[in-house]
Each structure stands twice: as C-alpha cells, then as structure tokens.
Amino acid sequence: MRSLAVIATLCGLSAAWMPGVDRNIYSKEGANLFKRISPITKRTLPTSGKIRGVNLGSLFVFEPWIAENTWSNMGCGNQASEFDCVMNVGQAAANTSFSNHWDSWIVEEDFINMTTYGLNTVRIPVGYWLREDIVYTDSEHFSQGGLSYLEQVCGWASDHGLYIIIDLHGAPGAQVAQNADTGQYASSPGFYVDYQFERALEFLEWMTTNIHTNNNFRNVGMLEIANEPVQDPNSVGELTSSYYPNAFTRIRAAEAALNISQGNELHIEMMNEKWGSGDPTQYLTDNWYAAYDDHRYLKWDTSVPVTPDDYLNTSCNDDRGGNWPTIVGEWSLSPPDDVQWNSDWDPSTNQAFYQKWFAAQVMTYEKQEGWVFWSWKSELGDYRWSYQDAVAAGVIPTDLDSLYNLGVC
Ligand SMILES: *[C@@H]1O[C@H](CO)[C@@H](O)[C@H](O)[C@H]1NC(C)=O
Ligand SMILES: *[C@@H]1O[C@H](CO)[C@@H](O)[C@H](O)[C@H]1NC(C)=O
Ligand SMILES: *[C@@H]1O[C@H](CO)[C@@H](O)[C@H](O)[C@H]1NC(C)=O
Ligand SMILES: *[C@@H]1O[C@H](CO)[C@@H](O)[C@H](O)[C@H]1NC(C)=O
C-alpha cells in the first residue's frame, strides 16, 4: 500500500498536457522535439511544434494482417484475434508468446530512430484487458502481464522526449464487430451497454492512476477513451450521452483523488464528429482538456476519385477541422485494395507520387494539431503502411520541415 506522502511525491513527477502548448518536454539528454530549430519563414508552417507521430500498431492489440509471420510464430496462425489465439493455445503458452512479442516488436532503439526521423509522438493502442481484474475469467481470453511492458515502452519513449497518447483500442465487448483491432473477433459490437461502459470506465480510472503515479508514464499527456466506435449514431447507444461524460467525470475524479493540479490533467480524446458516431461534445458539460481524433484513410472514402492526381488534390484541400484540437491519429499511404498494385499505384515505381502525397497529408494535418501515422512498422513489405520502411525507401524525408519546400500543394 502506497502512503499518501509517496503518492504526493510521485505526482510531482507526473505530467499531462499538450506538448509545446501547455508545456515543453525534454529527453534525458535535454533535447526538445517540439521546438523548431530553424526559424519559421513560411506562412503555411505551423506556428508551434505540431504532433508528428507514429502508432505502435500490433504491439498490445495484435492485428494479424500487419505481422502474419510473427503471429504465426506465436502459435496464433489461423486465429482471427488475440482472444481466439489465447483461447486456442491456452493461458500459459499465450503468456510466454505475448511477452516475447512485447519484448521484441518495439525496442528502445525504435524510439531513438523515431527521434532521428523528426518524430515527437507515439500513440499506443491498448486493450481493456491490460487491467486484468475486470476481465471475465470464465468467458474472456486475453494475454496477461502486459502492463509492465507498457511501462517499459512508455519509459523509453519518455527518456527520448516523445509525447505519448494511450488509446483504448479494444473496448469491453468489442466496439465494432469482426475486427481484430478490438482484440476479439466479435459477431456483434457488444460495447454499447451500461455494464460494458462501466468496465471501460474502470479501465480508464486505473490507467489514469497508473499514469500519474508511475514515473515511466511521465510523458503520457493524452488518454483516448474509445477508438473507432461504430459509425452510426443510432447504433452506439448512450456513447455520447453517457459514456463520454462519465469518462470525463471518472478520469477527473481519479486525478482529484491524487491531487493532480488542473494544468497536469490528462487530455481526454474522443473520435471527432467527422468519424460518424455522433457529436462527441454534445453532452459534455466540461470539455477542459478535451481532444479529438480524426482518422483519415482516403482508400476507404468512396467519394474520392481513385487517381493519384485526385488523391493529391483531395489531401491538399482536405478540411479536417470541426473539433479543436484535432489530431489526425491514423492515416497511411495506402490506396484502395483493388488498385494498389496497378502501375499507377505500385509503390516500387511511384515513390515520387507517394512522397508528394505524404507531404500533402502532413501539411493538411498540421493545419490541425498534427498527425500520427499508421503504423511505425509492419511485416507487409509495403512502405505505405510502415513509416520506417517509407523512410528507408526515400519516400519520407528525415527532415519533415523540408516537405513544405516541395511545392506540392
Ligand atoms: C534503427 O535504425 C538503424 C539505422 O537505419 C537500423 O540499422 C536499425 O535496425 C533500426 N532499429 C530498429 C529497432 O529498427
Ligand atoms: C499468466 O501471466 C499472469 C501475469 O503475468 C499470471 O498471473 C498468470 O498466473 C499466468 N497464467 C498462467 C496459466 O501461466
Ligand atoms: C494539493 O496540491 C497543492 C499544490 O498543488 C498543495 O498546496 C496541497 O497541499 C495539496 N493537498 C494535499 C491534500 O496534498
Ligand atoms: C481539387 O479539390 C477541390 C476540393 O477538394 C475541388 O473543388 C477541385 O475541383 C479539385 N480540383 C481538381 C483539378 O480536381
């Protein structure tokens, strides 16, 4: 049992904010990734350091399509989701294979490489099952022991001065059907009932307390409360009228119990109105430190004509505003599946196009609060889903400010 005095001391170390806006953050070497070194000369450049980040996809919520080889080596081949794999291989074997995965998929050097690429943020998708006492042991099957690995990666990210967004990507009951990105391949979205909302709220309280009392989490400034709910306001129950306001109340109460000062409170992030699960602000009575997540995959927007020129034009003129502050928390360089290997889109012969499209998206998303690419790495051998592969292919420059000089938009 921690004494109050110890908690008070640890709170002095904790931090929660928007980087560069509410405060500056530094690596252990004193580097500040949010301060622009060169003077800002272009009208279009953002006036302060924007979020420039990558998602740690398939780390704590495994999406098999991103890393089929690793999935298979974990004994999960043919299994649709984490839940299915753990049920199939058993808890003991899953404990071992998932621990090995957490220990190897992302290592400290990844964060060093991110900083050399000019990135300043990581978004970390997690599942509610990280809090093991809310998992129904008789009917739910998930990996165990993930928290210490989350501490480890957040500690590394903090050491290297990166800002951290923790994202509740897998919600209790599954917030969408048949998608491994919830951690389970559910036949229907079971999240939108009170007892599942309640489990998510218990997760958020617990995560909030961990963030403020464990120094490894010192650079976590934002907690996203539900990734990608169903895109139909009529099918999400009381998501906006009950779950969102209750999440604010419960997170702030957990912070009040720790005597966290107002400026140190977490930003609480919801999908923006453009996502299509309702207006996230509609029932909020207090939107202090609220933030909004925009996911922008042109590949799934059937209103955009499928040509490289139209993609560039659309991205240059794409208004992602509406809620403020908005972070474009997921996007990629992938075009629609049915054209992605055609000569117009083949990544091995169209690097010049992909570089321009990357620049167009970055400049547009930096009109908002910034962006987080999906994802940092993959085993697809396709740089359109892997930031580090795109850097290696010369499609993404390591000097991100140079994108403003390409004359793309
Ligand atoms: C970091 O970048 C270096 C240089 O490109 C590369 O050799 C190394 O494999 C990268 N580390 C990781 C963990 O990807
Ligand atoms: C799995 O790991 C958890 C936490 O690390 C531990 O409490 C549990 O006993 C393990 N289960 C088995 C069956 O080994
Ligand atoms: C809460 O924090 C404030 C300063 O932030 C301090 O003055 C006050 O004594 C603290 N209260 C408790 C109960 O720790
Ligand atoms: C570019 O996009 C804008 C709006 O997104 C549209 O109004 C305009 O017609 C497009 N231009 C071309 C050349 O396609």
- Better-predicted residue by pLDDT, 10 or 341: 341
Say how far apart CA 102 and CA 146 lie, in whole Å: 8
193-230 pLDDT tens trace: 999 999 999 999 999 999 999 999 999 999 999 999 99
261-279 pLDDT tens trace: 888 899 999 999 999 999 9
Instruction: List the catalytic residues.
Output: 228, 330
Q: How many CB atoms lie within 10 A of CB 208?
A: 28
pLDDT value of position 19: 72
Ligand 2 pocket mutation pick from 96, 144, 149, 151 by most atoms within 8 angstroms of CB: 144
What one-character DSSP code corresponds to residue 213? H
pLDDT value of position 13: 34
Q: List the single range of 12-21, 108-117, 262-271, 332-341 with lowest mean pLDDT.
A: 12-21
| Range of 2-6, 104-108, 258-262 with top mean pLDDT | 104-108
Is residue 314 within 6 Å of ligand 4 at its C-beta?
Answer: yes
Give the pLDDT band (50/70/90) at residue 147. very high
Taking the centre of ligand 1 as the mean of its atom positions, its distance from the CA of residue 375, in whole angstroms, is: 16
CATH code, domain with 209: 3.20.20.80
Is residue 110 within 6 Å of ligand 1 at its C-beta?
Answer: yes
pLDDT value of position 104: 98
Q: How many CB atoms lie within 10 A of CB 393?
A: 17
Tell me which residue has its CA closest to atom 2 in ligand 3.
259
Q: Which residue in 41, 37, 19 sits closest to 404, CA to CA?
A: 41
Is residue 281 within 6 Å of ligand 2 at its C-beta?
Answer: no
Give the pLDDT band (50/70/90) at residue 23. low
Backbone angles phi, psi at 221, to 5 degrees: -115, -10
pLDDT value of position 18: 73
Taking the centre of ligand 3 as the mean of its atom positions, its distance from the CA of residue 259, in whole angstroms, is: 6
pLDDT value of position 45: 41
Is residue 313 within 6 Å of ligand 4 at its C-beta?
Answer: yes
Give the pLDDT band (50/70/90) at residue 2. very low
CA distances from 252 to 105, 106, 212, 216, 405 (A): 33, 31, 12, 21, 43
Contact call for residues 18 and 263 (beta carbons, < 8 A): no
Ligand closest to 309 (CA) is 4
Contact call for residues 236 and 197 (beta carbons, < 8 A): no
**Residue 42 counted as domain residue:** yes
pLDDT value of position 76: 98
Q: List the single range of 43-47, 252-256, 270-274 with lowest mean pLDDT.
A: 43-47
Tell me which residue has its CA closest to atom 7 in ligand 3.
259
Is residue 6 within 6 Å of ligand 3 at its C-beta?
Answer: no
Is residue 259 within 6 Å of ligand 3 at its C-beta?
Answer: yes
pTM, to two decimals: 0.93
Is residue 29 within 6 Å of ligand 1 at its C-beta?
Answer: no
The pair of three-digit structure tokens given for residue 406, joined into one six-digit string: 């390409």
Q: Which residue in 137, 212, 126, 202 sits closest to 169, CA to CA?
A: 126
**Residue 70 counted as domain residue:** no
Please identify, by atom number, the ligand 4 atom nearest to the C-alpha of residue 309.
14
pLDDT value of position 20: 65
Taking the centre of ligand 2 as the mean of its atom positions, its distance from the CA of residue 91, in whole angstroms, is: 7
**Residue 144 counted as domain residue:** yes
323-379 pLDDT tens trace: 999 999 999 999 999 999 999 999 999 999 999 999 999 999 999 999 999 999 999
Ligand closest to 304 (CA) is 4
What one-character DSSP code corresponds to residue 278? -
pLDDT value of position 24: 72
User: Averaged over 242-246, what is the pLDDT?
Assistant: 98
Say how far apart CA 353 and CA 307 lie, in whole Å: 11
Would the pLDDT of 322 be above 50? yes
**Residue 53 counted as domain residue:** yes
Helix (H) or strand (E) holding 148: helix 146-159
**Residue 97 counted as domain residue:** no
User: Averaged over 105-124, what is the pLDDT?
Assistant: 97
Amino acid residing at 119: L
**Residue 225 counted as domain residue:** yes
Is residue 9 within 6 Å of ligand 3 at its C-beta?
Answer: no
- Mean per-residue pLDDT of the chain: 92
**Residue 278 counted as domain residue:** yes
pLDDT value of position 34: 79
Give the pLDDT band (50/70/90) at residue 41. very low
Tell me which residue has its CA closest to atom 12 in ligand 3.
259
Give the pLDDT band (50/70/90) at residue 159. very high
Please identify, by atom number, the ligand 3 atom nearest to the C-alpha of residue 261.
5
Would the pLDDT of 4 be above 70? no
Taking the centre of ligand 1 as the mean of its atom positions, its distance from the CA of residue 110, in whole angstroms, is: 7
**Residue 85 counted as domain residue:** no
Is residue 78 within 6 Å of ligand 4 at its C-beta?
Answer: no
Give the pLDDT band (50/70/90) at residue 30. confident
Q: How many domains does the chain have?
A: 1
- Full residue range of the structural domain in which residue 247 is found: 4-60+107-405
Please identify, by atom number, the ligand 1 atom nearest to the C-alpha of residue 107.
13
The pair of three-digit structure tokens given for residue 188, joined into one six-digit string: 């229907």
Contact call for residues 175 and 228 (beta carbons, < 8 A): yes
